[in-house]
Structure 1
């Protein structure tokens, strides 16, 4: 997560690639009954989240579950695919992602992790939002994503979650509503300060709204945080750095 927030893309990818081997080691260790299947979960999660954080939507759409994964440990794969479906405007992918996510939820009910089901409704509503957007139902998309954001506000988010309110900003920006998007990004950044995609999203929304100075302020923060994108190949980040310097 730290690598992703500071624009160290290749280090993040390299660490993610190691997770499969670490998971296999955990599975083979004696006395690890409570964490025995954790490797599969983290392998799936890291590959899904890395693609999403890098905004590589094609990669996110193609994330597959790690071999041998328990049915309840694959929900992040479907979450990534569902989110990618919205960005790629792929209604068929969105529908299949929702089916897969619901199967994972059902499996979780009889797993040792049943207590986490309520929290996963946030991600389910996000998938529903992206499905609605992919199906050209923007009003429904906003309702589902707004519900996800409100749920997360009440429950709290884990340390390295992708904020639902940041996703709401993404959705509104894609709907050509930059002022509304900027407002959501600002809230997300208060809850998750200096998140790189939050800064880039807020900058882009401000720019689209004609708020040039505000956009540059967000872009400058992203540039400082990533050492002017020195270790990143992300086009959106490099563009932000260039505009911040202009």
Structure 2
């Protein structure tokens, strides 16, 4: 496929869209600092963008503050914070980490400012402290320091909101996660009552309630976030996390359309990963609505861009969306025929957890199309990727890959006539995937293992058990089209 750059795609996608729909004045924050007025204003701009997770723009704003007041430690705090990305999968690049470390060191060397400013600086500096082993340890150190800052400055909404974010970012997976998220949600609900337009409070509340058991609490926030930050691509996308949980595909598609257009409009040398992230959610929504042609058009447009930002979010979307088109429509031969070559803009060796979806789709498609040798090759590739993730400490993604391997092996065994073993493998894959849950980077697994169990049981004539599997899938992922069709 011929590739093109940002300008061509912008012209195609944004024609006739000079202004985003529903645009209103964006809300800003007001962090008191001892910096000069120009720097103080730039810090408020940067912090607003930081709360909206527009990290590139946030860093630019904090850099403006540093130029306006070279003695402003809080400007350096903001630069250091713009690198951390607490809730995003993946880790900062070496270049990003070097910028953050330099800013943290500069913040220490400058006059401390107020007690509030000093507490914030110390929290950011904790992330970059020497001797910490890996990103999770750094994140934990920042979280501890940010929560210590909260104790001394509980009356400052930005400090408390960032402490809430730190609790979300360090919450363990498993049964305790929902309980922690609910408690963080209680804190954010109280802050929202005091300051209903604060972008960080609304944003972090959506993340707190991005959970099957808490989704109803997130709906009020999902309904307003795009009004608070109408030009921020990530803010326009975030409500879709809740609408995906509730199965409201029309709202998800609409908001992600606005997000993708905003990301393109604000991209310059590279296309922000906010664009690809929104497209993946939109592709998923269109497929649930039965609008496959719209989904295919979006994937074609996304793949035609050759200057995507290198990030895990972008890599995930570029890997997931093409295979969703095939798997959601039961195109097993198409999935089996996937080329090993993936999009050239991404250095895929950096993102094994995204590459797994490509080989899972190829393996599953091959197994279901009776191409056993290809399916076994895919399993071997998945096992290589699993080892790479284990070596990198990517435990969540490694466990998900274990489920993918079990699913492909299940369908290989079914093709070989080993029915009991096939069902055992697919059941184990479904139980594992359900226990792990989905990452916020994805609207849903490219094909849920529990739904695949329903397919397998249905093919064996075990209709009642199959129906139970499809209903269980819908309990996790309401209004999924394949499960709904299977139950008719």
> Normalising by structure 2, what TM-score?
0.38
Do the aligned residues in 2 keep the contact of 1:146 with 1:168 (CA within 8 Å)?
yes
Aligned residue in 2 for 1:59: 334
Shift of 1:21: 4.1
1:18-97 paired onto structure 2 within 5 Å: 18-22=301-305, 24-27=307-310, 35=311, 38-64=313-339, 65-68=341-344, 69-71=347-349, 72=352, 73-97=354-378
Higher relative contact order (CA 8 A, sep 6+): 1
- Is the deviation greater in 166-175 or in 68-77? 68-77
- Is the deviation greater in 146-155 or in 67-76? 67-76
For the aligned residues, what is the CA RMSD? 2.1
Q: Deviations over 1:152-202 (max 9, x none)?
A: 222223432232111100011112222221121122122211110001122
Shift of 1:135: 2.0
Q: Deviations over 1:178-235 (max 9, x none)?
A: 22211211221222111100011222xxxxxxxxxxxxxxxxxxxxxxxxxxxxxxxx
Distance 1:41 1:186 in 2: 27
Do the aligned residues in 1 keep the contact of 2:410 with 2:421 (CA within 8 Å)?
yes
Q: Which of 373, 379, 382 lines up with 1:101 in the alignment?
A: 382
Do the aligned residues in 1 keep the contact of 2:382 with 2:401 (CA within 8 Å)?
no
Shift of 1:99: 0.9
Unaligned runs of 5+ in 2: 1-283
Distance 2:332 2:474 in 1: 22
Larger Rg: 1 or 2?
A: 2
Do the aligned residues in 2 keep the contact of 1:23 with 1:39 (CA within 8 Å)?
no
1:202-217 paired onto structure 2 within 5 Å: 202-203=487-488
Distance 1:144 1:91 in 2: 16
Aligned residue in 1 for 2:286: 3
Aligned residue in 2 for 1:139: 420
Unaligned runs of 5+ in 1: 28-34, 204-246
1:126-205 paired onto structure 2 within 5 Å: 126-158=407-439, 159-161=443-445, 162-203=447-488
Aligned residue in 1 for 2:49: none
Aligned CA distance change for structure 1 residues 189 and 99 (closer, same or farther; 3 Å): same
Do the aligned residues in 2 keep the contact of 1:19 with 1:42 (CA within 8 Å)?
no
Secondary structure at the counterpart of residue 160 of structure 1: coil
Do the aligned residues in 2 keep the contact of 1:24 with 1:39 (CA within 8 Å)?
no
Do the aligned residues in 2 keep the contact of 1:44 with 1:76 (CA within 8 Å)?
yes
Distance 1:107 1:23 in 2: 27
Secondary structure at the counterpart of residue 143 of structure 1: helix
> Normalising by structure 1, what TM-score?
0.72
